[in-house]
């Protein structure tokens, strides 16, 4: 998708459709919607719909006006953005996605979006719009035989004034890079497991490295045995598909020696639960159990293009979790790479096993700070539902920086405790740890299990189980993979590059 800025009068823009945000202005009596445009012709074109009561400004309300009076645009789309007082870049991102999804089935491939001025700096608003259009443009119907390409070809951002046009243009480019990275992760998560085996996922990573200049290494079972990754291998042993350990490196010249950020992603390309098999209902979605790994690949794609001055390594532990005569059984004891012994109580708690070895290896490779992402626990979904991912952190300073990155990225996550009292639930009579702690506080005990493998490294764990898959289509995003965490990880990395001494 081509995206660019225009400083021309919105009324003079020749486009298939001009999109304008409308906000609820509750402080006016009587209440009136506020058109986010200072252009008299645009306001005049919308007046008839406003006077007729068709426009209120409520979130995602859409009113399409054909052949708008006084405009060169063929259509004028008014999209509600909610209350003016609280309107944010996160809201604008969704509004842009909603506009995109409204226009796509109407065969609009090129449109202009008038950048609103309410509450937001121009560059922040421009970036949010571009990212929102990318999110809205994604479709999950990859293998439909009658699939029609309705992709957006061209987006023009109409800007009335910009104090710093160069900053606005840089924001557009940043939005493109991050939007493409998020959709790249979504494409991976959307693939069925027969078309994205661990080997195929590794091939995708190698292709990504070739296209972006990253350094990539891929290892198979022999290397895992050499590294003594007993926890990872125990999950892989039940499948006929070989596991793959994927390593991507971004080491720019001139970057400081520290921090070195280690990204570790769960890459279970299909999760049956193993011997502790899952119910059949809904199991088809378990192709998404590699969403944490996909997020790391998406983030690295963006990093390679943005070129921040900070060293980043990414590890994806890719395998299937299958039941077979070779599969590990409840009660088995496995030895992790760190040397810790693990009693496997539930083979469906496999993500923490592969991450345990991935996190330890990241430290061995020189990572000073660790961040992992995984569709790890149903317990996190019970706790937070489908709206917030769970965050766990062993370092308040690192968490504070990530929380700030979250706000800039517009993603929802909620911090949960790492209370050591919960460790009692992970004590084993036969080994150092059990891989599950029972029914209660399952997201917490899973995070505490991982904490045993990070040592004293500052570390953040993202449990994205409830947010990596959209259960129902929303106005701004299609049902299916969300690409959660890509934007926040990229923002966090950009912050590390800007202020490495604060890490």
- How far apart are the C-alpha atoms of 76 and 45, rounded to whole Å? 8
Q: pTM to 2 decimals?
A: 0.97
Number of H helices, E strands in the chain: 13, 20
- How far apart are the C-alpha atoms of 357 and 351, rounded to whole Å? 10
**311 catalytic residue (yes or no):** no
Q: What is the mean pLDDT of residues 226-248?
A: 98
Q: Other CB atoms closer than 10 Å to residue 38's CB: what's the count?
A: 12
Q: In which band, very low, low, confident or very high, does the pLDDT at 28 lie, cut at 50, 70 and 90? A: low
pLDDT above 90 for 39: no
pLDDT above 80 for 406: yes
- State both tokens at 238: 């039940």
pLDDT above 70 for 31: no
CA contacts within 13 A on the Cβ side of 472: 3
Q: CA of 431: how far to CAs of 178, 335, 449, 487, in Å?
A: 43, 9, 13, 39
Among residues 190, 170, 15, the alpha carbon closest in space to that of 103 is found at 15
- How far apart are the C-alpha atoms of 435 and 437, rounded to whole Å? 7
List 278, 305, 415, 474, catalytic entry: 278
Among residues 13, 8, 23, the alpha carbon closest in space to that of 112 is found at 13
Contact between 267 and 318 (Cβ < 8 Å)? yes
Query: H or E stretch including 198?
Result: helix 198-212
Q: Which residue has the tokens 């004293």?
A: 456
Q: What is the DSSP string of 396-420?
A: HHHHHHHHHHHHHHT--EEE----G
- pLDDT value at residue 32: 78
- How far apart are the C-alpha atoms of 295 and 468, rounded to whole Å? 10
Q: What percent of the chain has pLDDT over 90?
A: 92
**352 catalytic residue (yes or no):** yes
- pLDDT value at residue 446: 98
- pLDDT value at residue 136: 98
Average pLDDT, the chain: 96
Q: In which band, very low, low, confident or very high, does the pLDDT at 118 lie, cut at 50, 70 and 90? A: confident
pLDDT above 80 for 29: no
Q: CA of 354: how far to CAs of 39, 197, 244, 274, 454, in Å?
A: 57, 16, 11, 14, 13
Q: Which residues contact 285 (CB under 8 A, 6 or more apart)?
A: 469
Q: In which band, very low, low, confident or very high, does the pLDDT at 324 lie, cut at 50, 70 and 90? A: very high
pLDDT above 80 for 42: yes
- How far apart are the C-alpha atoms of 477 and 60, rounded to whole Å? 12
Domains and CATH numbers, the chain: 2-142+151-160 (3.40.220.10), 193-502 (3.40.630.10)
pLDDT tens across 160-181, in order? Answer: 776 688 999 999 999 999 999 9
List 75, 101, 204, 352, catalytic entry: 352
Burial 393-418 (b: 16+ CB within 10 A, else e): bbbeebbebbbebbebbbbebeebeb
Is the preceding peptide bond at 495 cis, omega within 30 degrees of 0? no
CA angle (262 as vertex; 362, 367 as ends), nearest 5: 60
Q: What percent of the chain has pLDDT over 70?
A: 98
pLDDT tens across 325-355, in order? Answer: 999 999 999 999 999 999 999 999 999 999 9
Q: Which residues contact 245 (CB under 8 A, 6 or more apart)?
A: 218, 219, 220, 223, 224, 229, 232, 315, 316, 317, 318, 358
- pLDDT value at residue 243: 98
- State both tokens at 28: 């006016």
- pLDDT value at residue 48: 86
- pLDDT value at residue 465: 98
């Amino acid at each position: 998708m081509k995206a660019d800025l225009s400083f021309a009068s919105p009324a003079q823009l020749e486009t298939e459709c001009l999109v304008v945000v409308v906000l609820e202005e509750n402080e006016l009596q009587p209440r009136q919607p506020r058109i986010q445009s200072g252009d008299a012709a645009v306001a005049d074109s919308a007046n008839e719909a406003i006077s007729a009561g068709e426009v209120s400004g409520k979130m995602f309300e859409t009113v399409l006006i054909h052949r708008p009076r006084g405009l060169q645009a063929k259509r004028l789309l008014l999209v509600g953005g909610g209350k003016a007082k609280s309107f944010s870049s996160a809201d604008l991102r969704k509004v842009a996605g909603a506009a995109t999804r409204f226009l796509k089935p109407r065969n609009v491939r090129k449109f202009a979006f008038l950048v609103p001025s309410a509450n937001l700096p121009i560059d922040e608003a421009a970036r949010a719009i571009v990212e929102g259009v990318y999110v809205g443009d994604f479709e999950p119907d990859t293998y439909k035989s009658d699939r029609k390409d309705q992709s957006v070809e061209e987006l023009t951002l109409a800007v009335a004034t910009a104090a710093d046009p160069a900053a606005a243009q840089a924001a557009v480019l940043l939005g493109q890079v991050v939007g493409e990275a998020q959709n790249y992760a979504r494409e991976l998560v959307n693939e069925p497991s027969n078309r994205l085996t661990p080997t195929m996922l590794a091939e995708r990573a190698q292709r990504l490295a070739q296209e972006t200049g990253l350094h990539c290494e891929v290892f198979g079972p022999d290397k895992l045995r050499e590294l003594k990754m007993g926890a990872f291998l125990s999950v892989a042993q039940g499948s006929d598909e070989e596991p793959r350990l994927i390593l991507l490196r971004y080491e720019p010249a001139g970057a400081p020696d520290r921090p070195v950020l280690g990204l570790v992603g769960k890459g279970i390309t299909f999760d049956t639960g193993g011997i502790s098999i899952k119910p059949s209902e809904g199991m088809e979605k378990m192709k998404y159990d590699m969403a944490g790994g996909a997020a790391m690949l998406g983030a690295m794609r963006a990093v390679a293009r943005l070129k921040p001055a900070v060293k980043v390594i990414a590890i994806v532990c890719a395998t299937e979790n299958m039941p077979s005569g070779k599969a590990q059984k409840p009660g088995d004891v496995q030895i992790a790479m760190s040397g810790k012994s693990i009693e496997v109580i539930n083979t469906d708690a496999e993500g923490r096993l592969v991450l345990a070895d991935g996190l330890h290896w990241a430290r061995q490779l020189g990572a000073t700070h660790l961040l992992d992402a995984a569709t790890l626990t149903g317990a996190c979904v019970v706790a937070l539902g489908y709206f917030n991912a769970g965050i766990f952190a062993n370092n308040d300073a690192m968490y504070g920086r990530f929380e700030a990155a979250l706000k800039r990225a517009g993603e929802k996550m909620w911090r949960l405790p790492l209370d050591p009292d919960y460790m009692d639930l992970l004590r084993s009579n036969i080994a150092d740890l059990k891989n599950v702690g029972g029914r209660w506080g399952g997201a917490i005990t899973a995070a505490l299990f991982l904490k045993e493998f990070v040592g004293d490294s500052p570390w953040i764990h993202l449990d994205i189980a409830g947010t990596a898959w959209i259960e129902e289509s929303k106005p701004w995003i299609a049902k299916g993979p969300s690409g959660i965490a890509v934007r926040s990880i990229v923002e966090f990395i950009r912050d590390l590059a800007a202020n490495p001494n604060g890490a």
